[in-house]
Amino acid sequence: MKLNELTKGIIGVEVTDIEISNIALSSNDVKEGGLFIATPGTVTDGHKFIDEAIESGAIVIVCEKLPANQKEGVEYIVVEEAQLIIGQLASRFFGDPTHKMQVVGVTGTNGKTTTATLLYNLFEKMGYKTGLVSTIRNYVHKKEVAATHTTPDPISLHCMFSDMVDAGCEYCFIEVSSHALDQGRARGIEFTGAVFSNATHEHLDYHVTFEEYLKAKRGLFELLHPHAWALANADDENGEFMLQSTQASKHFYSLQKEDGTFAGEINFEGLIIENSFNGLVLDVNGNKVISQLIGKFNAYNLLAIFGTAMLLQQDPAKVTEVMAELHSAEGRFDILRGSTGKIGIVDYAHTPDAVENVLSTINEIKKDDQKIITVIGCGGDRDKEKRPQMARIAQQFSDYVILTGDNPRSEEILSIIKDMKAGLDDPDDEQVLITPDRSEAIDTAVYTARENDIILIAGKGHENYQEIKGTKYDFSDRKVLDEKLRKYE
């Protein structure tokens, strides 16, 4: 693509019409005849790698400040905020692929992965070629693409969108994280619609305050055009705020219209008819929705999925028929049963709200004689405020709690557990054990459990590693739990 065509309407300076072979954010990805975008990143400054990019073949440099020594034969373009135009340049370079599909963004603290993944599965099962961008994995129709971030960098993202268009995808569902929104990674995407699930305290190590976190989330809806739609959870106190300044048409879903404080119109109203370990039965706008998913929090996810499908003009009868076939996303209330009747649950719950949701669900549907044993840790180098809250919630909603390691990263596991223990209502509670080794903690939980007791392994969900002191070790909660259930058969 010619440089002047690539930058027209995006960069407000005159440029030449030289041919650009590729665009890159890393000097390692530059090809001969390429364009390199230097951004002041959170870890390192891309301006330090301009010379390396030129050595790799870059003939155009987009930067915020000119290097001291400029190379002859290289075109330098200075912009105010390079981060904010990467998405637009990437979209243009790859032929504006999101203009050729219906793209739906999903944001919120909890439920993003489940909602986006199940929407992908729903539309695939209904016969549409569909794309998915999520925390767990990405798909270009049926082809899996490795997932490294909740929302990839804009160049990788639009390259993937282009692949989706080439594969004939009509729809794409994408998780949009607060980090991505704050860093402008969602810019350049033509969204058909966007969904907000809920907001609780998360990523305050990055956003510092909850207000800044909410503002970042709201940024998704501020990107929407007037012809797009926005769908939000009316039962979350932040639902109305999220859609406050959007130009898109506003729609809301709710499970508690009569009890809630939301005064606006509810477009998708749900009622839980049945909630058990076998699944959910809902009434949504007069449509019976039967699902293999479990718990009230999943009822909200199902409402968001149904509402999204309706806003995408799908047939409600077909949608409810296929929704009955959908399984939970990997590591989300993932149930394993031992031959002795012990019930194991692996869940990604790693926020206070998510832990309370999953434990409340278990308490709602368990029998009186079933005990709950919760194995839980907190990640290192992340928001420390939630550690005591998560431990307190686990203690309040469980019969036994085992505090253990999660992904300690650069921190000491015992230091993290000390932070968690500070939140316990009774620090000397004999029903709370400390077992730093996660595998041993799971082993203890399964050994302790009686027939029909419930073992919750919270925090890591789908992750297949444990990160300790900069090294990622193979570790899967599901695999370890399965091994221990078999061990004590």
What band does 149 get if pLDDT is binned at 50, 70 and 90? low
What pLDDT shows up at residue 207? 45
Query: Domain boundaries in the chain?
Result: 3-82, 93-323, 334-487
188-214: pLDDT as tens digits: 999 999 999 998 855 455 545 888 889
Q: What is the pLDDT, as a whole number, of residue 178?
A: 84
CA distances from residue 84 to 32, 247, 313 in whole angstroms, order as listed:
25, 20, 33
Question: How much is the mean pLDDT over the chain?
Answer: 93
Condensed to tens digits (0 to 9), the pLDDT of residues 3-54 reads 999 999 999 899 999 999 999 999 999 999 999 999 987 678 999 999 999 9
- As to burial, measured by CB atoms within 10 angstroms (0-12 exposed, 13-18 middle, 19+ buried), residue 67 is middle
Helix, strand, coil percentages (3-state) for the chain, rounded to 5, are 35, 25, 45
Q: 334-487: CATH homologous superfamily?
A: Mur ligase, C-terminal domain (3.90.190.20)
pLDDT in tens, 417-434: 999 999 999 888 999 999
The CATH code for residues 3-82 is: 3.40.1390.10
Higher pLDDT, 289 or 329: 289
109 pLDDT higher than 50? yes
H/E/C letters for each residue in 51-112?
Answer: HHHHHCCEEEEEECCCCCCCCCCCEEEECCCHHHCHHHHHHHHCCCHHHCCEEEEEECCCCH
Task: Report the percentage of the chain scoring pLDDT > 90.
Answer: 83
Q: What is the pLDDT of residues 59-92, one digit of tens each?
A: 999 999 999 999 999 999 999 999 999 999 999 9
Superfamily of domain 93-323: Mur-like, catalytic domain (3.40.1190.10)
pLDDT > 70? residue 151: no
Pseudo-torsion of CA 379, 382, 388, 389, nearest 10°?
A: -100
Instruction: Convert the pLDDT of each residue in 257-284 to its tens digit.
Output: 655 567 789 999 999 999 998 899 999 9
d(C-alpha 478, C-alpha 484), whole Å: 10
pTM of the model as a whole: 0.85
User: So what's the pLDDT on residue 78?
Assistant: 96
pLDDT for the residue numbered 256: 77
Q: What is the pLDDT of residue 259?
A: 59
